Amino acid sequence: MTDTWLIVGLGNPGSEYSGNRHNVGQMVLDELASRIGGKFKVHKSRAQVVEGRLGIGGPRVVLAKPMTYMNVSGGPVSALAKFFDVAPDHVIAVHDEIDIPFNTVKLKIGGGEGGHNGLRDISRALATKDYLRVRVGVGRPPGRMDTADFVLRDFATPEKKDLPFLLDEAADAVELLITDGLLSAQQKHHAARS
């Protein structure tokens, strides 16, 4: 296995979904791609991919945005992991998380998918839950709004003001996770909101 990291931003394809809460993972990958100076190109694995390094001579990363719908993200992730020879412990899924407040970033490895169909499909395709997750908080639906309706809506106007800072923090969390490890990244990003 190589020392390459596969960072997957979850979301749905198409411009009508691009601003949705469900696509925040792909928004974070756009931020990471701009940091490494890369442009996404279509890969045969049904994903858009950018290859590069974090910093000068830093770790090699493959940024990937599956071109499939969220609930069938596993196929492209598994194909990319095989193509780039990346073990599950070097796969990072960046995704929306309703169980933590908006403007919050949490990190973990393994565990349950919390009803997130994209994560469930990745766990199935990789045959393990032991991959890293950067969970970007989008908050819970108001009132009795259906969760699916909530995550398939764009961020609210007040949230949009803070969104660039949230994307920046999530991108920082991905970089720290790779360079310093899970515990260090958790200590920095979890403590910031306590």
Query: Hey, how many other C-beta atoms are within 10 angstroms of the C-beta on 51?
Result: 15
Q: Which helix (H) or strand (E) holds 65?
A: strand 60-66
Query: Hey, how many other C-beta atoms are within 10 angstroms of the C-beta on 70?
Result: 24
What SS3 class is residue 61?
Answer: strand
| Residues 95 and 136: beta-carbon distance below 8 Å | yes
Catalytic site includes residue 22: yes
Burial class (CB in 10 A: 0-12, 13-18, 19+), 71: middle
In whole angstroms, give the CA distance from residue 45 to residue 79: 6
| Residues 42 and 13: beta-carbon distance below 8 Å | no
Of the candidates 22, 43, 90, 95, the residue annotated as catalytic is: 22
Give the Å distances, CA to CA, from 106 to 13, 17, 47. Answer: 25, 23, 25
Catalytic residues: 22
